[in-house]
Amino acid sequence: MGVEFGDFAVGEDDVLAAEDDAERAEVLAPLGLAPSPHPSGLGAYIAADPTGLTPVPGVWVAGNLADPNANVLGSAASGSTAAGAINADLIAEDIRHAVQAHNDPFSPGSEARVCEKVMGDRRHGLDPIVGQSTG
């Protein structure tokens, strides 16, 4: 006697079995990521580095998508590793933007700040109260 829950089935030996990982990995196909057969012959996986970063920048995988042989604890650990890598990537991106803004004296933001300091509430040489040229 066994029990079946959607894609999962518990058999007479109390073994939990799930569908092929390739079907779950198909959700990443629109991003250009296709599952590959795992070398162990057990399921499919999405190729990624040790942090879960795939060949598509900004896309990480974890758990059974990264390794179909991973158990629950291994999957949780890979998810934690991927989360740390994602956080580090976001911080690095923020730093790149801040450095770029600092090094680019002619950005729209820096120009607005300089105009505010120099012109105050006047814009384009017009006095806001009278509406006439000041210079």
17-38: average pLDDT: 74
Question: Per-residue DSSP letters for 23-75?
Answer: HHHGGGGGGT---EE-TTSSSEE----TT-B-SSTT-B--GGGT-TT--HHHH
Cβ atoms 35, 43 nearer than 8 A: no
Q: Is the pLDDT of residue 27 over 70?
A: yes
Cα 29 to chain centroid distance, Å, stands at 16
CB count within 10 Å of CB 66 equals: 26
Q: Is the pLDDT of residue 21 over 70?
A: no
The pLDDT value recorded for residue 96 is 93
pLDDT in tens, 71-86: 899 999 999 999 999 9
Confidence of residue 62 (pLDDT cuts 50, 70, 90): very high
The pLDDT value recorded for residue 85 is 96
